[in-house]
A and B are shown apart, each in its own frame.
Chain A
Amino acid sequence: MRYLRFIVAFALCVPALVMPYRLRVAYGQMLAWIFHLPPTLFGRLARRLMRELETPNPYGPAR
């Protein structure tokens, strides 16, 4: 598994090293959006389920 991750990381990091600075910043933001998408969507689903089940959200603003 770590070798697979190494290959993926290598493929993602090498282009970043040779990009102009501004493009690298945008590339990092794009990767962040993609990597955060699953937990973001899961969070939305969890909030919706808790709201529909009338379960208090322990990490919400009312805490």
Chain B
Amino acid sequence: MSSEDCVILYSGGTDSTCVAALLTERSRRLHLLTFYEAATRDSPLPAANVGRLRDRFGEDRFPHSVLSVDALLRRLNCDRYACYLRRHGFFMLSNCGLSSLAWHVRAIVYCLDNGIRRAADGVTRELGHFPGHMDPVLRELKGLYARFGIEYENPVRDWDVPADQRLIDRLIVDRHASEFEPAPEPRSPSRTTGRYLYELGLLPHPNVKGTDLDRSMQHACYPFVLFHIFAFWLYLPFHEYAEYEARMAGLFKEKIQDAARWLDGYKATGRASELAELL
């Protein structure tokens, strides 16, 4: 396996497809990993955008794997549940963050199995209430990857988000967006992931988010209604975002430490490890 290979956590949406296209400049082969769990197993797979990437950059450059994280996610949810529930209470409903942690654990296993030293995803500054989009959690995840000799990066983290998308986010799922960390000032009105793909000829419009096309090409990442009820109705109306972020980061620091121990076992004993049974 070439050291130029890179793993991309790939939902098939605009952001992760943009990352795949961007990294073709640095990596010969980009391993696209799409994950599913019980709640998302019926969601469409991102075959259309994988096909577009292959047509544009080369048939052999984008091996695509669809991996179940269901058993792993269940373990992340249930491991020492009473203990976690006592310390973190309703934050244990942050299933979207646990789903993304399961993807990262599975991606690290993939990297270890295939000798890959780089990984990336399409996290932006949107949806800052999701654990996996918070800076403290991303720092912990970078540390988790680094522990296994893997460099993890977020190449479009500070790219602009289309203004109408921000409006839709606020109306539907992210009504507290304006209270979260301020979005960076646009460096250029054209620096969005959608525009980048449009200019490459991969998308028919600079902003397809929320359209039928978007829904058909993107795999649903995780169920989040219950989490939003907790975040937007139960917790955030009575607490500052900074406190919310700190408590969430505390939970995920512990969960990431658990994951690190499982991965240590996997690295030491491979298929005989506890983690291997969950893959």
Contact = CB atoms under 8 A, between A and B. Distances in A.
B95 A10 contact: no
Contact of A13 (B205, B210, B216, B226): B226
A39 to B, nearest CB: 8
A24 B94 CA distance: 12
Contacts of A2: 233, 237-238
B236 to A, nearest CB: 10
Contacts of B148: none
B233 A16 contact: no
Contacts of B78: 21
Nearest to B81: A21
Contacts of B90: 13, 17
Given A16-B93, A63-B205, A8 B210 contact: no
Interface residues of B, number: 29
Nearest to A39: B172
Interface string A1-31: 0100110111011001100011011011101
B66 interface: no
Interface of A: 2, 5-6, 8-10, 12-13, 16-17, 21-22, 24-25, 27-29, 31-32, 35-36, 39, 59-61, 63
B208 A31 contact: no
Contacts of B246: none
A24 B95 CA distance: 10
A24 to B, nearest CB: 8
A31 B85 contact: no
B172 to A, nearest CB: 8
A10 B90 CA distance: 9
A4 to B, nearest CB: 9
Contacts, number: 70
Nearest to A14: B90
B51 interface: no
- SS class, residues of chain A in contact with chain B: helix
B212 A61 contact: yes
A12 B89 CA distance: 14
A59 B78 CA distance: 40
A27 B227 CA distance: 12
A28 B92 CA distance: 14
A28 to B, nearest CB: 4
A10 B89 CA distance: 12
Interface in B88-103: 89-90, 92-93, 95
Contacts of A29: 39, 223
B223 A32 contact: yes
B223 A5 contact: no
Contacts of A12: 226, 229
A60 B39 contact: no
